[in-house]
Amino acid sequence: MPTLLLQCVSATLPDMLADLSDEMLMLRYCDGDLPAFEELYRRHKHGLYRFIAWRSPRLDWVEEVVQDSWARLHTARERYRPDAPFRTYLFQIARNRLTDLMRQRHAVLASELGQDDDYGSAFDRLADSVCDSLSPEQALVKKRQIAHLYAALRTLPAEQKEALVLHQFNGMELEEIACVTSVPIETVKSRLRYAMQKLRAQLQQFRSEGETI
């Protein structure tokens, strides 16, 4: 194939992949198409990190769970069937991996209960990623807002926080959340309703204390 034609094909391939659905990309990856995996990773790396970062009790577990999730996706690719959205499939893998890790290291977690260093570090990393493109003044205001939201979210029970993060920060529909968390849709609705009520109450408390939200 002439060099010029090869260059044209190489330049066109990413655009072609960008037009494909997640499920089609995963099927192509199952057939050995590495660029298809790279496109999936580009689309979902930040969302997956956010989901685990908000849910993990320790910062140093986040990268481990995220990397393990992509590795397990690779290992399980031959068994993949597009019966549900790809993102649901990926997040289920990550959620199960985090659950396994928490179960395995329960003693470590219990010994560090009440320590906030990891939570603070996780917040700093997430806040910095949001504020990268803002002016210093805008970044200060945004970080203050995120800090209040972060503190309020930490007061929620784990199941409610998980549902809220998936819905608000990852844009998942109720059906997807139900699939990821393995609960009925009505349970998801209930968790979201209670989470929003508690979140509003917590943020209102910040306002009543004279803080700027």
Higher pLDDT, 90 or 129: 90
The residue that leads in pLDDT, 85 or 105, is: 85
DSSP 114: T
Print the domain residue range for 191.
Answer: 155-213
Mark whether 127 and 102 lie in a shared domain.
Answer: no
What pLDDT is attached to residue 143? 66
My answer on whether 80 and 125 are in the same domain is no
Number of domains in the chain: 3
Whether the predicted pLDDT of 3 surpasses 70? no
Q: Are residues 13 and 66 located together in one domain of the fold? A: yes
* Residue 25 and residue 106 in one domain: yes
Residues 72 and 134 in one domain: no
Main-chain dihedrals φ then ψ at residue 145, nearest 5 degrees = -65, -45
Same domain, 127 and 100: no
Give the pLDDT score at 48.
94
CATH of the domain at 80: 1.10.1740.10
Q: Are residues 97 and 195 in the same domain?
A: no
Cβ neighbour number for residue 116 with a 10 Å cutoff: 10
Together in a domain, 7 and 55: yes
Assign 83 to helix, strand or coil: coil
Residue predicted with more confidence, 47 or 204: 47
Same domain, 82 and 146: no
Q: Which of 150, 169, 204 is the endpoint of a domain?
A: 150
Say how far apart CA 82 and CA 158 lie, in whole Å: 29
Same domain, 162 and 143: no
Q: What is the pLDDT of residue 15?
A: 65
- What single letter denotes the amino acid at residue 171? G
* Other CB atoms within 10 Å distance of the CB of residue 127: 19
Give 94-121 pLDDT, tens digit per residue. Answer: 999 999 988 887 655 444 444 444 444 4
160 shares a domain with 86: no
Condensed to tens digits (0 to 9), the pLDDT of residues 120-165 reads 444 455 545 545 555 666 656 666 766 777 778 878 888 998 998 8
CATH of the domain at 184: 1.10.10.10
Q: Write down the mean pLDDT value for the chain.
A: 78
Q: Verify that 171 and 69 share a domain, yes or no.
A: no
